Amino acid sequence: MKSHIKSREMVKIDQALEMLYGSIRMNILDSEILPIKSSLNRVLAYNVKAKYDLPQNNQSAVDGYAVSATDTFNSSPSNPILLRLKSRTANSEFTITSGEATYVPTGAPIPKGSNAVVMVEYTDKIQPDMIQICKSVPPGEDVSWKGEDVKQGEQILKKGMKLKPQDIGMLGALRIRSVEVFKKPKVGILSTGNELTSLDSNNKEGKIIEINSLVLAAMTIDIGAEPVLLGLVKDDYEHLRKKISESLEKIDLLVITGGTSKGLFDFTVKAIDS
């Protein structure tokens, strides 16, 4: 990003932020494809839509027995109702009829002819092919209906949003293994000042250790960008101007600390304007 903000007067923080945001364009960033397990806190580069319903079938929300709810009406521990236990088959068209029940674990599709699930705690298997129901359940009891969470074609994640843990879970549930995200913007950090020295120096002259770049780099990582430490520049106009010009070719945003006042050696504004 080669645009920059020109200002010779001090401005309030809110105004400075407004000027900064107004100069940033998302479309300058390239995108990349990442596996979803590596996409936490990355920014989506496209709208994500569901390719199918979630759940994909009417399924049981508990371990229990799929039934027709009307078969359980008026049942209770003191007045249990007997239903014939039907063994489940691999047939995708598996069906039960009135007076029948079949065991379903949590997350399993319920068979045709059923519209409720009785939790296993409210049942008693009294014979290999007979089950005793001790609770009356309404239609829809402990059933997760097809498309209840997400409808096919529904937009579930929006371009420009930062991916959170729950978003990654949703992508996995939809069998999306990788996503297109914007590459991390590169933030150049440049410090200026003759009175400063780097942390790695011997500092025999008793200068101030330059820590602004360390703090700004950590903040840059914290918000999901990539810091580019450009080092420490002395208060020299030509050197600073050249450093800024070279840096803008390899970064998206430049942050400069120091040299913004009206002191004799404050060249930052002049160097930027040039």
- Choose among 84, 53, 47: nearest CA to 67: 84
| pLDDT at residue number 257 | 85
Secondary structure string (H, E, C) spanning 184-223: CCEEEEEEECCCEECCCCCCCCCCEECCHHHHHHHHHHHC
- 57-66, 168-177, 221-230, 264-273 — which is least confidently predicted? 264-273
Q: Is the pTM of this model over 0.85?
A: no
| pLDDT at residue number 9 | 67
Strands 130-133, 59-60: parallel, antiparallel or unpaired by DSSP? unpaired
The answer to whether residue 5 scores a pLDDT higher than 50 is no
Higher pLDDT: 247 or 174? It is: 174
Per-residue model confidence as pLDDT tens digits over 31-66: 999 999 999 999 999 999 999 999 999 999 999 999
Q: Can you list the domains of the chain with their CATH numbers?
A: 13-30+184-273 (3.40.980.10), 31-53+151-182 (3.90.105.10), 59-144 (2.170.190.11)
| pLDDT at residue number 3 | 46
Per-residue model confidence as pLDDT tens digits over 211-255: 999 999 999 999 999 999 998 888 777 778 888 888 888 898 889
Angle (CA) 265 269 274, round 5°: 110
| pLDDT at residue number 75 | 96
DSSP lists the bridge partners of residue 209 as: 197
DSSP lists the bridge partners of residue 127 as: 130
Question: Residue 137 — pLDDT band, cuts 50, 70, 90?
Answer: very high
**Average pLDDT rounded to a whole number, residues 181-190:** 94
Angle (CA) 135 139 142, round 5°: 70
- Choose among 185, 174, 178: nearest CA to 51: 174
| pLDDT at residue number 36 | 98
d(CA 53, CA 111): 18
The answer to whether residue 258 scores a pLDDT higher than 80 is no
Looking at every residue in the chain, the average pLDDT score rounds to: 87
Count of CB atoms situated within 10 Å of the CB of 30: 8
| pLDDT at residue number 49 | 97
- Choose among 221, 195, 220: nearest CA to 210: 195
- Choose among 47, 225, 66: nearest CA to 153: 47
